[in-house]
Amino acid sequence: MIAIQEKTVTDEQQVQPAPPCVMVIFGASGDLTKRLLMPSLLNLARGKLLPDEFAVVGIARRQMSSDDFRAQMSQDIQEFATGSVDRDTWDWLAQRLYYLSGSFEDANSYQQLAKLLAQVDQERGTGGNYLYYLATASDFFSKIVRQLGDVGLAQESEGHWRRVIIEKPFGNDLDSARNLNQNLGSVLSENQIYRIDHYLGKETVQNILVFRFGNGLFEPVWNRNYIDHVQITVAETVGVEGRGGFYEGAGALRDMVENHLFQLLAMTAMEPPLSFDAGALRDEKSKLLHAILPLSPEAVHSQVVRGQYDEGTVKGKHISAYRAEPRVAPDSNTETYVALKLMIDNWRWAGVPFYLRTGKVMPKRVSEIAIQFKRVPHLMFRQTSVERVTPNFLVLHIQPDEGISLQFGAKVPGPVVRMDTVEMDFHYHDYFGTQPTTGYETLIYDCMIGDATLFQRSDNVEIGWSVVQPILDAWKASPPSRFPNYAAGSWGPQEADQLLERDGRHWRKIDG
Ligand code: BG6
């Protein structure tokens, strides 16, 4: 794993450029390539983390020459780079861009690809090492990998490697995820498959591990004896942004909970791994997800809330209802909000609820993990009303204000002993002066060096799906009775508040 910000890279001289390789992007004319992959490669190049013997081969249906592709990317990078574009660095990268037009289903495209890759190896000294990035619709994942296998482009042999990065969604339910794993596994070995969850590329998500396991202070209280409950919030101000066609078949549970929120949950709640390597970390994540108490249909009813937004206002802007979005059915039952309560059935967490929520068009973009500690057993300060004694909250702020804050009680200055809640704040930016990144840099670099720690193993994704499958089944059997049920710009349906109120708790108030 690497940190792109100059400070860390220059401080830690041991960060080496990746080995010679070609990154082959399937779906190179799409959004992901211009918005995230090219800006990430530029950032990696800026940090001197790409080797001289490097090239990118873009492949997509659109007819274009390599020169057209370079021109297009050179234009797009101006818009999507995370900072100003350094001319020399971009030129260095741009001259390494190649393009091939072809259909992902046509065997001929793969023959062409094999030829082009042989040529690139010759020209660039890339040594036959190929990283295939599948930035395509998920229907193509199995097909592309099978065709790569058919023309011998997936096989590794002495002296060169072949790896595949698979974007999400990895399946649509438990069965399809299993099928996809099987299809990939019939061509590739597990250590060639890199299933991406871009939340794991976020610095603050990785920091959860450092915070928990690199400090002596917190881990001793990280359990049911001291923690009352945990709240994980991923709120977005955006709606579905023209992706209605995709989102209709997904919904918030599939799009966010099964992957991003479960990653946050696993990082927060798993046991300390034996070492910081892919096997140990992924073992612990799997164990944690396995320990989640399965939800019966009744539990789905009482512990899971779904919502869909109606029209409303976000940041002063009028937002139409989800059902009025292009390519969304006017009577759609797709959820754009989910809140749920999960219990983890193990020694550390017995009796500690984990409340998770995520939604579109919320008042504020914020992702955070809030850990509420238990109240003191006895209050000796008579001058302080019980309401003023708020419990300690430790909040890991994932985005956009990355940092950590701790709420605790302090004496209000004056002659009588009264308490109020104060906050201690750490902001990443103040301390490290971080540079904006896409979050994909680390993931791409890690794949190039063969480090799968921040990627999902086959069992990780299947366990994730097995946790949400009962919810999918119960929802299918009983469609929502009153969608839409929250206004754009609100914090979600009132049932989500009731979910916590029934337990005598409430969502942490987030300003916005
Ligand atoms: C994607 C989802 O995986 O994550 C999107 O498909 C969502 O619907 C996005 O908007 C959120 O990512 P981030 O990094 O902006 O929190």
Distance, CA of 123 to CA of 117 (rounded, Å): 10
Pocket test for ligand 1, best of 240, 256, 437 (most atoms within 8 A of CB): 256
Q: How far apart are the first and last CA of the chain?
A: 34
**What local confidence, expressed as pLDDT, does residue 122 receive?**
97
2 to 189, 203, 206, 232: CA distances (angstroms) = 25, 9, 11, 26
Output the six-digit token pair for 294: 């399965």
CATH 3.40.50.720 segments of the chain? 6-167
Sheet holding 353-359, edge to edge: 304-307, 337-343, 353-359, 227-235, 366-373, 393-399, 403-412, 418-427
CATH 3.30.360.10 segments of the chain? 200-375+455-501
DSSP-derived 3-state class of residue 373: strand
260 is catalytic: yes
* β-pairing verdict for 227-235 and 403-412: unpaired
Distance 34 CA to ligand 1 centre (A): 16
Distance 193 CA to ligand 1 centre (A): 22
Distance 332 CA to ligand 1 centre (A): 21
Residues with CB under 6 A from ligand 1: 168, 198, 236, 255
Q: What is the phi/psi pair of residue 138, to 5°?
A: -65, -20
Distance, CA of 140 to CA of 183 (rounded, Å): 12
**Is 50 in contact with 83 (CB distance < 8 Å)?**
no
For atom 15 of ligand 1, the residue with the nearest CA is 236
Pocket test for ligand 1, best of 255, 262, 367 (most atoms within 8 A of CB): 255
**What local confidence, expressed as pLDDT, does residue 419 receive?**
85
Query: For every one of its 512 residues, what pLDDT tens digit does the chain have, with 9 covering 90 and above?
Result: 554 444 344 454 578 999 999 999 999 999 999 999 999 999 999 999 999 999 999 999 999 999 999 999 999 999 999 999 999 999 999 999 999 999 999 999 999 999 999 999 999 999 999 999 999 999 999 999 999 999 999 999 888 999 999 999 999 999 999 999 999 999 999 999 999 999 999 989 999 999 999 999 999 999 999 999 999 999 999 999 888 999 999 999 999 999 999 999 999 999 999 988 899 999 999 999 999 999 999 999 999 999 999 999 998 999 999 999 999 999 999 999 999 999 999 999 999 999 999 999 999 999 999 999 998 888 777 776 766 677 899 999 999 989 999 999 898 898 888 888 899 999 998 988 877 899 999 999 999 999 999 999 999 999 999 999 999 999 999 999 999 999 999 999 999 999 999 999 999 998 76
**What local confidence, expressed as pLDDT, does residue 420 receive?**
86
**What local confidence, expressed as pLDDT, does residue 71 receive?**
97
Output the six-digit token pair for 236: 């977005």
**What local confidence, expressed as pLDDT, does residue 12 receive?**
47
Q: Which CATH number fits domain 200-375+455-501: 3.40.50.620, 3.40.50.150, 3.30.360.10, 1.10.1740.10?
A: 3.30.360.10
Supply the CATH classification number for the domain 6-167: 3.40.50.720
**What local confidence, expressed as pLDDT, does residue 41 receive?**
98
Distance 255 CA to ligand 1 centre (A): 8
**Is 354 in contact with 344 (CB distance < 8 Å)?**
yes
Torsion of CA 73, 76, 78, 79, to 10 degrees: -160
Active-site entry in 160, 198, 229, 260: 260
CA dihedral sign of residues 126, 59, 181, 243: positive
Pocket test for ligand 1, best of 198, 243, 337, 438 (most atoms within 8 A of CB): 198
